Structure 1
Amino acid sequence: MRTVLDGEVHVHYHQLYVESDMDDEVYGMRDAAGGQANGLCGAAIPGFLHLITGLHTGNVGFTVEVHDEEPPLDGTWQEVVEVSFTPASEETLLVEWGGGECWPMDLAPVPHRVRYCATGMDEANAADTRIDPEPQYDRYLLQFWPAPPAADRVVKQTSEIAAYWHGVARELPPPPSPEERAEAKRRERQAEEEAAERQRRERELEWEREEWGGRLPSERLRQLGGNAMGMARLDRDLVDVIAAATANSQRTLACWAAGRAYALAGLAEIDWIAPALRAAEHGEPLPAPFDDAANGFERVWDRLWSDERIPDTRVPSIIGDTDVPAMSQQAMAVPALFAAVESDPLQAALDALFAAAAAYGADRFPDLLAEARRTFAAAHATASRTSTSVPPDVAG
C-alpha cells in the first residue's frame, strides 16, 4: 500500500476532484454523478472523479491510498461508496476546487476500483464553514486498486447529507456516452467553424462593399477587372447606370469618354491621333500606331513623347496618391482610347470613363461625370427612380 496524502485539503462548495488528462471543460455533479446509485463520488466522466464533502468551505481531513489489491473494509467509517475509474493518462491528480493545490497519485492507466469513505458529514454540513483553528468536523479516505470496471454502489450510508446526495444522483439523467460526447464536440466545432466562416465572409463582403463605393457589385461587375472598381469609387450610381445599358450604348459612352479625355489633353487634333479617334467611333480597327496592342502600344508612347506638338500639362491624381501629387494629363488620357475598343462593351465604357476622369484630375473629374449624366440624362433619371439602379438603357 502507498499513501499519497495524509493530512488536510481545502474544499469549497462541498467538492474537490480527481483529474486525469482533462480538457478545458468544467464538469459538475450533474455531469459526473448522473444515473449513479451514489452521489458522493461521481465517476461517469472518463478520467474524472467528482468528490462531495459535508463541509461547504474549509479544511477537511483527507487520506489517499493506492493498493495492489482490494483492501479490507474498515467498519468505523460512516459512509462508504465504490466506483470504477480508469486514468486517461499516467498523470492523475487530486485537485482542490478552483485549481488550488494538487497532489499527484502516480496511478497506472488501467481500470481501478475506488472506495470513498467519510465520517462526520452531518456535523460538517451543519457547521458549513471551518476556520482554523476550529476542530476538524469531517474526514475522508480515498482508496484505489486495480480491478475490472463495475457499477457504482453504496456500501454504507448513515448520514442525512449523504442520503440527500445519493438521492440527487439517482434523479439525474445519465450523462452522454463518450461517443455521444465526442459527436457533440464535433458538432460544436463544426458550428464554430461555420460561424467563423460566416464572419470571414461578412468581413470580405464589407471590404468589397467599401471597395465598390458602398454597395456590392453584381456578378457581372465583379468579374470585369480593369478599372471597374476604381470607377465605382468615383461614382457608384453611374457605374450601375452604365452596367444596365445596352452594349451599343456602352460602346458609345466609351468613345465619348475617350474623345473628352483627348480633347482636354490637347491630343484630339494631332494628325496621327485624330484618325484613331474616328476609327473607334465607327467601330473600325485602330490605325497605326494604335494597332500595336501586342507590344503594349509601345509605338504610341514612343511617338507621344517624341512629338514636340504634344502639350505637357499636369493634373492631381484621382486616387489621392500624395507621393505623386501631379500626373501627366496626356499620359492619363491616352489609355481612354485603348479602353474604348476593348472587346467587352461594359469594360470599354468603365475603363474609358475612368481614364478620362484621370485626365481631368482630382479637382475636375466631377465635372466630367456630371457631363456624362447630362449627356445620358434619360437613362440616369430612370435609374434614380429604382432602388437597385437597373435602367433599361443609356441613350447616346
Structure 2
Amino acid sequence: MDKTTSPRATWQGTVHADFAQIELFLGDDGDAPDSTYGITMASDAGPEGVTLTVPRQYGAVDAVITLHSEEPPLDEAWQSVAEFPLQAGSDAELLGFARAGDVQLELPVGAELRARYVVEDAEAACQYDEDGEGATNMRVLLQFWPAEARPGAVVRSIGSWSRYWTWGSDCPYVVRELAEVPEPERLRTLLDSVISARVGVAAQILAGEERPRKCVTLYAEELFTQAAKTHDAEGAGVYAEYIDDRAALNELIDERAAVASR
C-alpha cells in the first residue's frame, strides 16, 4: 500500500448490534454536532456520541477502524458511505449493546477530524437478523483523518438498504450543491436530480405510492427553508405558490416524475 494512504493506526474488533445500532463514543469533551446522515445520527446520549446503523438487527458486527494522515481513497465496491466532522475527546471507543465487544480507540484528543463510516455489502448482511446458521459475516469500517470542519454528507448510497436509511437525510447537502442554479429553476433542477438518482422512484410516484412522494417533498421543503434565508422571512418571493399550495407542489413532482420516466 502507498505510504500516503497507509493508516497511522488500526484497531479491529467485534461489537454486538442491538436494534440495528452500534455506538461511536468520542470520549470526554468529544463533539460531533453535524453527524446525522441516514446511516449515522446524533446519539441521544449526548454530543459526544454518534449512533451507527447496521443491516443486522442483532448479533456480531466486525469493525475495522483506521486513523490516517490525510483523506484515504474511496473504494468503488463500497455500497453505503457517510462522512461527518468531529472533535475527538479522550477515551474514544466503538461500543456494542451493553458494551459487548467495545473497541478502544486512541484518537488525537482535541483534534478536528473527519469520519467516514462504511457499511460493506449491506445487501447481503441485511438478509439475516441474528447470527446463526447461514448468516453472513458483516463488516463496517470507520476511517478518521485531520480535516477542517465542513458539512457532513451521504457519500454513497447503493442498494435498497442504504437508500432506505439515507433517503432525505442528505437534503441540506443536495440543496447546497445547487446553490448556483437561479431561482425558481432550482426547484425543478432539484426535483429532477432527486428523482433520477433513485431507480424506480419516478414510476412509483406516477403509480400513486406515497412514501417516495413524501421523501421527494423533503428536498423541496429544505429548498424552501434555505430560500427563506436568502429572500425573506417567509421564504415567499420565488416559492410562495408551492409553500401555500401543496397540491401545486404535488403536481410539479408528478410532472418531473413523468419527464424522468420517458
Say if 2:153 is the partner of 1:153: yes
Note the alpha carbon deviations across 1:346-388, whole angstroms, 9 max, x for none: xxxxxxxxxxxxxxxxxxxxxxxxxxxxxxxxxxxxxxxxxxx
Equivalent-residue separation in structure 1 for 2:11 and 2:94 (angstroms): 9
Structure 1 residues 93 and 47, CA gap change in structure 2 (3 angstroms): same
Note the alpha carbon deviations across 1:105-128, whole angstroms, 9 max, x for none: 111121110111112222222222
Secondary structure class of the residue paired with 1:126: coil
The match for 2:206 is none
Say if 2:95 is the partner of 1:95: yes
Task: Check whether the contact 1:121–1:137 (CA below 8 A) recurs between aligned residues.
Answer: no
Q: Higher RCO, 1 or 2 (CA under 8 Å, sep at least 6)?
A: 2
Equivalent-residue separation in structure 2 for 1:74 and 1:8 (angstroms): 22
Structure 1 residues 81 and 20, CA gap change in structure 2 (3 angstroms): closer
Equivalent-residue separation in structure 2 for 1:165 and 1:32 (angstroms): 17
Equivalent-residue separation in structure 2 for 1:112 and 1:32 (angstroms): 12
Equivalent-residue separation in structure 2 for 1:134 and 1:3 (angstroms): 33
The match for 2:59 is 58
Secondary structure class of the residue paired with 2:25: strand
**Looking at CA atoms only, which structure, 1 or 2, has the larger radius of gyration?**
1
Shift of 1:43: 4.5
Equivalent-residue separation in structure 2 for 1:43 and 1:70 (angstroms): 23
- Structure 2 residues without counterparts, runs of 5 or longer: 1-6, 172-217, 219-262
Equivalent-residue separation in structure 1 for 2:12 and 2:142 (angstroms): 10
The match for 1:105 is 105
Shift of 1:22: 5.8
- Structure 1 residues without counterparts, runs of 5 or longer: 24-30, 172-396
Shift of 1:53: 0.4
Task: Check whether the contact 2:123–2:159 (CA below 8 A) recurs between aligned residues.
Answer: yes
Q: Which amino acid aligns with 2:145?
A: W
Equivalent-residue separation in structure 1 for 2:138 and 2:16 (angstroms): 12
Greater strand proportion: 2
Shift of 1:63: 0.7
Superposition pairs for residues 76-91 of structure 1, below 5 Å? 76-87=77-88, 89-91=89-91
Q: Which amino acid aligns with 2:17?
A: V
Taking only the aligned residue pairs, the percentage that are identical comes to: 26
Equivalent residue pairs, number: 162
Q: 1:14 aligns with which of 12, 20, 29?
A: 20
Equivalent-residue separation in structure 2 for 1:17 and 1:75 (angstroms): 26
Shift of 1:46: 3.0
The match for 2:72 is 71
Task: Check whether the contact 2:85–2:150 (CA below 8 A) recurs between aligned residues.
Answer: yes
TM superposition score normalised by structure 2: 0.54
Task: Check whether the contact 2:34–2:151 (CA below 8 A) recurs between aligned residues.
Answer: no
Structure 1 residues 15 and 168, CA gap change in structure 2 (3 angstroms): farther
Task: Check whether the contact 1:32–1:43 (CA below 8 A) recurs between aligned residues.
Answer: yes
Superposition pairs for residues 157-176 of structure 1, below 5 Å? 157-167=157-167, 169=169
Secondary structure class of the residue paired with 2:150: coil
Superposition pairs for residues 1-396 of structure 1, below 5 Å? 1-21=7-27, 36=36, 38-43=37-42, 46-87=47-88, 89-108=89-108, 109-131=110-132, 134-167=134-167, 169=169
Structure 1 residues 59 and 32, CA gap change in structure 2 (3 angstroms): farther
Shift of 1:75: 1.4
Equivalent-residue separation in structure 1 for 2:103 and 2:137 (angstroms): 22
Task: Check whether the contact 1:43–1:84 (CA below 8 A) recurs between aligned residues.
Answer: no
Equivalent-residue separation in structure 1 for 2:49 and 2:136 (angstroms): 27
